[in-house]
Amino acid sequence: MAISALPARTLRRWALLLALGLLASAVRPEPAAGAAVEVLFLSPAPATPLFGTIDVAVNVRSDEPVVKVSFKVDGKSAGELKKPPFRVQLDVGQENVEHHIQVVATTLSGATALADRTSPAVVVNEEINVALRTLFVTVSGSDGKRVLDLTRDEFRVLDNGSEQKLVTFERGEVPFNAVLLLDTSESMRGARIAASRAGVHAFLGGMKDVDEASLVLFSDRLLAATPFHNDRKPLEAVLVKTPAEGGTAINDHLYLALKLLDGQVGRGAIVLFSDGTDVQSVLSMQEVLWKERRSQSLIYWLQLNEEGARRTSISSAWRDFAANDREFRDLQRAVIESGGRIEGIDSIAGVEGAFKEILSELREQYVLGFYPSNSRHDGKWHEVQIRIRDRQGLHVRARGGYVDY
Partner 1 sequence: MWNEALRKRELAIRSFLTFAIVLAGALGLAGPGAVRADVPQPQDMGGRIDPATFDVPAIQKAYRKILARWATGGRSEAVNDLKTLEMGVVGADGKGREKLWKAELQAVRELEEAQHESLLPVMVLHHESYAAYRDLHNPYLSLHARNLTRSLAEVYAARGATEGAKISAARVLTSLGSYIQEASLTELAAELYARSLELDPVNEVALLGLGALFEKSGRYPPAVTYLTRLLKAHPAQAEGKLRLALSIERDTGVIHGGTTGSGNPVEVKRLLRELISGDSPGWVRNLAYEELGVRYARDGEFEKAEVLLKEGVAKFPNDPRLYIELASILERRGQPGAASRLAEKAGSLPVTHEESARFRYSRWAPEALFAMRASLRETSDARLALLSQALGTGKAAS
Please say which residue, 91 or 327, places its beta carbon nearer to partner 1: 327
The residue range among 10-18, 215-223, 335-343, 371-379 that interacts with partner 1, by the rule CB under 8 A, is: 215-223
The residue range among 42-50, 141-149, 323-331, 379-387 that interacts with partner 1, by the rule CB under 8 A, is: 323-331
Among 222, 231, 381, 383, binds partner 1 (CB under 8 A): 222
Cβ pair 269, 362 in contact under 8 A: yes
Q: Cα–Cα distance between 327 and 308 in angstroms, integer?
A: 21
Residue 174 Cβ, how far from partner 1 at the closest point, in Å?
A: 23
Establish if 168 lies at the interface with partner 1 (CB under 8 A).
no
Phi-psi category of residue 228: left, alpha or beta, with phi > 0 → left and psi -120 to 50 → alpha: beta
Backbone angles phi, psi at 25, to 5 degrees: -70, -25
- Which residue, among 47, 42, 23, has the nearest Cα to 121 in the 3D structure? 47
HSE-CB for 261 with a 13 A CA cutoff: 32
In which element (H, E) is residue 76 found? strand 76-81
Applying the rule CB under 8 A, the residues between 141 and 160 that interact with partner 1 are: none
The residue range among 54-62, 69-77, 99-107, 254-262 that interacts with partner 1, by the rule CB under 8 A, is: 254-262
The residue range among 45-53, 89-97, 162-170, 194-202 that interacts with partner 1, by the rule CB under 8 A, is: 89-97
Applying the rule CB under 8 A, the residues between 259 and 318 that interact with partner 1 are: 259-260, 262-263, 279-287, 290-291, 315-318
Would you call 197 exposed, middle or buried from its count of C-beta atoms within 10 A (0-12, 13-18, 19+)? middle
Q: Where are the alpha helices (DSSP H) in 206-272?
A: 232-241, 250-262
**Beta-carbon count within 10 A of 71 CB:** 25
Establish if 220 lies at the interface with partner 1 (CB under 8 A).
yes
Establish if 346 lies at the interface with partner 1 (CB under 8 A).
no
Please say which residue, 97 or 166, places its beta carbon nearer to partner 1: 97
Residue 263 Cβ, how far from partner 1 at the closest point, in Å?
A: 5
- Which residue, among 150, 227, 89, has the nearest Cα to 391 in the 3D structure? 150
Q: Cα–Cα distance between 367 and 378 in angstroms, integer?
A: 26
Q: Cα–Cα distance between 268 and 34 in angstroms, integer?
A: 35
Residue 275 Cβ, how far from partner 1 at the closest point, in Å?
A: 17
Site string for partner 1, 3-32 (x = CB under 8 A): ------------------------------
* Residue ranges that bind partner 1, judged by CB under 8 A: 94-95, 97, 127, 216, 219-225, 243, 245-247, 249, 252-253, 255-256, 259-260, 262-263, 279-287, 290-291, 315-323, 326-327
